[in-house]
Amino acid sequence: MARPIWKGSISFGLVTIPVQVLPATSATEKISFRMLRKSDLSPIKYKRVAEVDSEEVPWDQIVKGYEYEKGKFVVFDEADFDKVELASVDSIAIQEFVKLDEINPIFFDKPYYVEPLKGGAGAYGLLRDVLARTGKVGIGKVALRNRQHLAALKANGSLLVLELMHFANEIAPAESIKVPESKLGARELEMARTLVDQMSGDWDPEQYTDEYADAVMKLIDQKIKAGGKEIPGRKREAPAATNVIDLVAVLQKSLQESGGKNRLAKSSAPAKRPIARTRAAKRRTTRRTHKRAA
């Protein structure tokens, strides 16, 4: 299990819940590329050099500084950050409860698990259950990694999840993005709704994987086997936009194809069942067959 990144308390009204915050996302191994000099493939290194004399500076000689005037700095170390006089450093004070569906998803950034500490389980469970039943989230502020964040406390199964949010001034205005108006008839809207219904299903995150990483690794293997020679490939062309004139025909064809895929899916293996459970069910069936045979 990951190490806690923050310890403190959640408070709402006069209720205080001692908790710790842990990462909710894992650091998966990603494909990384080194930067090389083209002529001899020598790896490129980056050095930390001082601006005044271009001398390389070791890590133990580097400090954090805030430039309050041109060329003038005030230095901060880790002990200084502990002296910040802000309630959110040690506490997540819920300022209000808001309906989750009233918050634009663009404000949400990164989730963390919240775990109750000694003496906090009762109030933790109470807050979790109330949030789950009301469909609301608790909005407050928390100081993590030397900066303050807006945050939402959400019920998530048996846990509370703290999701860091963007402040309003961090969201870029969208007024400059122009979406031309288009007049669509009732027939197009009805066909599109039917297509969405046909393509709808239960949320199963296990069925979505990073196919791009697999494709890149396949290409890396091909280039290794080719000894650095050029590998033939086909040029990808961006699909053309669907014209309004052709929209009805395209929707009709999409409905036919989607309906066929759905019928095929329903006639095959159990729908929407995770792979692990399907294999387990097969093993149970096999054992029952062997017992009857015995």
For the stretch 198-210, pLDDT in tens is 888 888 888 877 7
pLDDT at 98 over 90: yes
* 189-213 burial: b if 16+ Cβ within 10 Å, else e: eebeeebeebeeeeeeeeeeeeeee
- The answer to whether residues 17 and 120 touch, using CB atoms and an 8 Å cutoff, is yes
To the nearest 5 percent, what fractions of the chain are helix, strand and coil? 35, 25, 40
Domain boundaries, the chain: 6-26+83-170, 182-199+242-294
Question: How confident is residue 241, by pLDDT bands cut at 50, 70 and 90?
Answer: low
Segment 137-180, tens digit of pLDDT = 999 999 887 788 999 999 999 999 999 999 999 999 888 888 88
Residue 140 backbone phi and psi in degrees, to 5: -155, -165
pLDDT at 217 over 60: yes
Q: What is the pLDDT of residue 264?
A: 47
Residue with the two structure tokens 């300022």: 95
> Hey, what are 152's tokens?
């939402």
Neighbours of 130 (CB within 10 A): 14
Q: What is the pLDDT of residue 242?
A: 59
List Cβ neighbours of 59 (8 Å cut-off, separation of 6 or more).
48
CA distance 156 to 161: 6
Average pLDDT, the chain: 81
| 96-99/91-93 β-pairing | unpaired
pLDDT at 279 over 50: no
Q: What is the pLDDT of residue 200?
A: 85
The matching CATH number, chosen from 2.40.290.10, 3.50.50.60, 3.90.1170.50, 3.40.50.150, for 6-26+83-170 is 2.40.290.10
The closest alpha carbon to 111, from 76, 169, 155, 70, belongs to 155
Q: What is the pLDDT of residue 283?
A: 42
Q: What is the pLDDT of residue 152?
A: 96
- The answer to whether residues 152 and 103 touch, using CB atoms and an 8 Å cutoff, is yes
pLDDT at 286 over 50: no
Tell which wins on pLDDT, 267 or 93: 93
Q: What is the pLDDT of residue 184?
A: 77
> Hey, what are 45's tokens?
């290194």
> Hey, what are 293's tokens?
């045979």
